Amino acid sequence: PVYPNPPYDGQFTFTRLRYGPPLGEVGQRVPWSHDYPLGERHFMQIMKEVTYLHPKTDETSILGLDDVELGRSPVAYMTEPGYWFITDDEAEAFRAYLLKGGFVIFDDFAENRGGWAAFERTFRRVLPGARFYDLDVSHPIFHSFFEINSFDIVPQMYDEGRPVFRGVFEDNDPSKRLMAMINFNTDI
C-alpha cells in the first residue's frame, strides 16, 4: 500500500517523485515505486546513523511533480525515470521547483529499462536548454561526505557496462549549483 504523506513539520523527510496519477497500491509494475518503501526507510536510517540530519525514518512522502508541497522538500528522488512521462503543467511546476533551489536525484535506469533517450526527451520538457555533463570522480559531489575515488566500487547488479553519472547545473555552468544528479546505467 501507499502510505499517507506525513504532515509537514520541518523535519527532513525523504521525498519520492511519482509520475502518473496517485495510486493506492504500488509494485514492481509501477516504475516510480521501485523499492518503495524499504529503499527510503533504509537510506534514511543510514542518514540518521552517520549524520546529524535527524530525518524521519519511518515516514516518507510521495509527491507529484506539480504538487505544491514539493517546494518544502529540498531534495527529491525519482526511480526508473526512463519510463517517466510528464504533462505540460507538471513540466512547468517541476521547472519552478528546480529553478527555486530544488535538487533531484534520478536513479535506477539503463537502456534496457526506459533508456537515456526517453529520459532526456522528458527532462528537456522541464528544462529545454539543459546540458547534461558527465561527472567523473574529481567532481566535489563524490568527496562531500564519502570519499569516492573510483566508480569501480559501484556494484552493477543487472546493468551491463559501467555506471554513468551526469549532472545538470544552474545556467548550464558547472561552477554553479548542481540541480540534478543522474545515475544512469546503475541502481544506487
pLDDT, one tens digit per residue, over 17-36 is: 999 888 888 876 789 998 89
Give the pLDDT of residue 114. Answer: 82
Give the pLDDT of residue 42. Answer: 94
Q: How far is CA 107 from CA 84, 131, 133, in A?
A: 12, 18, 16
N-term to C-term CA, the chain: 24
Give the pLDDT of residue 128. Answer: 97
- pLDDT beyond 70 at 155: no
Other beta carbons within 10 angstroms of residue 127's beta carbon come to 17
Q: How far is CA 99 from CA 5, 102, 122, 156, in A?
A: 24, 7, 17, 33
Q: What is the pTM of this model?
A: 0.94
Lowest mean pLDDT among 43-47, 139-143, 177-181, 184-188: 184-188
User: Which of the pair, 151 or 60, is modelled with greater confidence?
Assistant: 60
Taking only the tens place, the pLDDT of each residue in 72-131 is 999 999 999 999 999 999 999 999 999 999 999 999 888 877 889 999 999 999 999 999
- Single out the residue of 78, 79, 38 nearest to residue 60, CA to CA: 38
Strand, coil or helix: 32: helix
**Residue type at 71 in one-letter notation:** G
**How far is Cα 83 from Cα 119, in angstroms, rounded to an integer?**
7
Asked if 78 and 32 count as a contact pair (C-beta separation under 8 A), the reply is yes
Strand, coil or helix: 139: coil
